[in-house]
């Protein structure tokens, strides 16, 4: 079958491995944002929210791959602003970057200075809001991810398989990443700061000012490495500060 013809090509297998690795790296933003958002929900709903969020991310990427002609046309300039040619893709990246900046700043404020505690009914009502926010960012990250895939591979089946494998790996790792972020408040603050950097990078991409993601990921990895050393050193010290949580289960008392 033509669909499986790529399997006899060593170059296609190399492209699959490289593309899967890049898709996982590009998906780190998505997983971190998703982990921080679902922390607002009751524990029983968090796994379902992660599965829906990553499932939607995979679906959007595959749909965009299957409509490449529309996606490539989306990169054509629509108008010029202050000397920059702005396309539909640029508008989405700029809007997504601004959303990430605003959301990350609000989350930092909520964790440090916001009100703590809330009724479970209010948390249930926020489930749809969390999914909507995930969908909005999935659109931004999906366009970035698919355009990267198109530049690296020529076979649609290879690109689709790379996306499915990378999302599957992220789905397995999402729970552990979420629990780790929630256990360590300083890591959560670093993750939110990381999302601020990603937001700025998206705005830069939308204005044709390319900021290599490698620099951002290196800065984040270095910061997390330093904080891991701090966690190890203070393991026997007093309990770390606890961030405020907007939604707390009714049978739990907030830690102070």
pLDDT tens-digit readout, 125-179: 477 888 888 888 877 777 777 776 666 656 777 778 888 888 888 888 888 888 8
On whether the CB atoms of residues 115 and 246 are closer than 8 A, the answer is yes
What's the pTM value of the predicted model, to 2 decimals? 0.71
The DSSP code sequence of 61-125 is HHHHHTTHHHHHHTTSEEEEETTEEEEHHHHHHHHHHHHHHHHHHHHHHHHHHS-----HHHHHH
pLDDT tens-digit readout, 177-218: 888 887 778 888 888 888 888 888 888 888 888 777 778 778
């Amino acid at each position: 079958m033509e669909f499986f013809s790529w399997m006899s090509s060593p170059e296609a297998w190399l492209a699959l491995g490289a593309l899967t690795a890049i898709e996982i790296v590009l998906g780190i933003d998505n997983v971190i944002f998703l982990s921080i958002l679902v922390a607002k929900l009751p524990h029983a709903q968090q796994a379902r929210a992660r599965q829906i969020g990553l499932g939607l991310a995979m679906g959007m990427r595959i749909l965009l791959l299957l409509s490449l002609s529309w996606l490539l046309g989306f990169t054509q300039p629509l108008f010029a602003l202050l000397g920059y040619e702005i396309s539909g893709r640029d508008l989405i990246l700029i809007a997504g970057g601004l959303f990430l900046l605003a959301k990350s700043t609000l989350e930092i404020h909520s964790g440090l200075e916001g009100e703590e505690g809330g009724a479970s009914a209010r948390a249930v009502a926020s489930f749809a809001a969390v999914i909507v926010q995930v969908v909005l960012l999935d659109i931004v990250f999906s366009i970035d991810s698919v355009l990267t895939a198109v530049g690296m591979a020529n076979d649609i089946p290879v690109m689709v398989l790379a996306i499915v494998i990378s999302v599957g790996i992220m789905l397995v790792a999402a729970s552990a990443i979420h629990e780790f972020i929630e256990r360590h408040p300083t890591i959560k603050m670093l993750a939110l700061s990381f999302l601020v950097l990603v937001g700025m990078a998206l705005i830069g991409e939308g204005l044709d000012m390319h900021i290599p993601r490698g620099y951002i990921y290196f800065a984040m990895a270095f910061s997390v490495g330093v904080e891991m050393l701090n966690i190890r050193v203070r393991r026997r010290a007093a309990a770390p500060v606890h961030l405020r949580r907007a939604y707390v289960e009714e049978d739990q008392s907030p830690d102070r």
